[in-house]
Amino acid sequence: MRKYDVPAPLFHLLVGAFLAKEADWLLSAGSYRPGTAVHPGDPFGTVVSWLWMHHPDELMAHLADYMDRLRSTSPHLEGWEGPRVALDDVLRGLPLAVPAGFTDDETTALISAMAGEIPKRLSEDPNLP
């Protein structure tokens, strides 16, 4: 597999842009139902699982930005009248998105870290409607 050396500022820009696109994609589907698993998409699961294995601390900051975009900053929220996407629903759907080979233990650890870290990085509870 080919590897690339990417300067840290560019790496963060790429990850941030990717996750913003994924949040917008999820919102554009318009099918969110509170209390149900949200499948964040296989590309999301692939990137997040790789980042979890290689850059777990940096991942949490990016995932907090992802949740902020899902809940308040996406242009797809303009005129949005439905409930805001809850972190718990994203966490429920994450196992559907991680790639084959990402173990149940790794998935459980990632979900636990997200549940503990993301709320600390946001200005409001990410599970409020």
Both structure tokens of 83: 């409930």
- Whole-model pTM? 0.94
Q: What is the DSSP letter of 60?
A: H
CB burial readout 16-54, b (16+ within 10 A) else e = eebbbebbeebbeeeebeeeeebbbbeebbebbbebbee
What is the pLDDT at residue 79?
A: 87
Q: Which of 71, 74, 86, 21 is nearest to 47 (CA)?
A: 21
What average pLDDT does range 43-72 have in this prediction? 96
Q: Determine which of 30-44, 96-110, 111-125 has the lowest per-residue pLDDT on average.
A: 30-44
Residue 86 one-letter amino acid:
A
DSSP state, 85?
P
pLDDT at 93: 97
